[in-house]
Amino acid sequence: MTPHPLIAGNWKMNGLRASLAEIAQLGALYQPSLQQKTELLICPPATLLIGAQEIAARAKIALGGQNCHFLEYGPHTGDLSALMLKDAGASYVIVGHSERRHGHQETDAVVQAKAEAALKAGVTPIICVGETGAQRQAGVALAVVEEQIKASLPAEESSTIVVAYEPVWAIGTGVTPTLEEIAELHAFARDTLNRLFGSVVGDNIRLLYGGSVSPANAKDILMLKNVNGALVGGASLKAEDFIAIARAYL
């Protein structure tokens, strides 16, 4: 059995209260026939979580955070814990996004601690991995992703986690790897998960692709073996684009 797909929207640092209307509109477009085929998730800025809670619940859309601290509480100015995100309505949290690995110097060890903190709080971590353009050019994409999977996933096996492969050079660029490259990487990531956790757990971990997913390329990417959904940036900001991506499953 392949895991139930997940189409996740990462709004990044975009969205004011007026943007909650997009979630309401998304709900109107998220028909029962599509609900059966795929789960939808929006990760808005944390400031919008509480305001989005009721709208999202009515629309059967899950909410998530974009980052969390690895501790539950304490003197960490500006940080939020997984427990706080859950309290505000999040059932998922993205950890280890490349914009945090590179922009905030987050190491694999930090990402792992965050993923474990999320699980402990009862929030599903979406752990991001992916090579840079230079690493792909140098022919080490698989090795980089293998190392990130081994070092940034929770130490204890859990099929609750979600892994998102996001090649850094494909994020926000409109450029994607070829379908063959995505298929190769995802098959390799699945193998790595199975070697780490055994196939009962490994086969049930959802593996998302992220990086310039659009309504135009979604179907080809989402129908690939070992691709169990997408992590969408820019195209998740407009309900119509986001739902068009999800409709690849109809």
Residues with catalytic roles = 97, 166
Residue 177 engages ligand 13P in binding (rule: CB under 6 A): no
Angle subtended at Cα 160 by Cα 105 and Cα 202, rounded to the nearest 5 degrees: 90
Residue 234 engages ligand 13P in binding (rule: CB under 6 A): yes
Residue 218 engages ligand 13P in binding (rule: CB under 6 A): no
CB of 238 to ligand 13P, least distance (A): 12
Alpha carbons 213 and 235: distance in angstroms, whole number: 7
Segment interacting with ligand 13P, rule: CB under 6 A, options 135-143, 145-153, 184-192, 231-239: 231-239
Residue 210 engages ligand 13P in binding (rule: CB under 6 A): yes
Q: For ligand 13P, which residue has the nearest CB?
A: 233
Residue 15 engages ligand 13P in binding (rule: CB under 6 A): no
Alpha carbons 9 and 22: distance in angstroms, whole number: 12
Residue 130 engages ligand 13P in binding (rule: CB under 6 A): no
Residue 231 engages ligand 13P in binding (rule: CB under 6 A): yes
Q: According to CB under 6 A, which one of 189, 211, 227, 228 is a site residue for ligand 13P?
A: 211
Residue 213 engages ligand 13P in binding (rule: CB under 6 A): yes
Q: Which residues bind ligand 13P (CB under 6 A)?
A: 10, 97, 166, 171-172, 210-213, 231-235
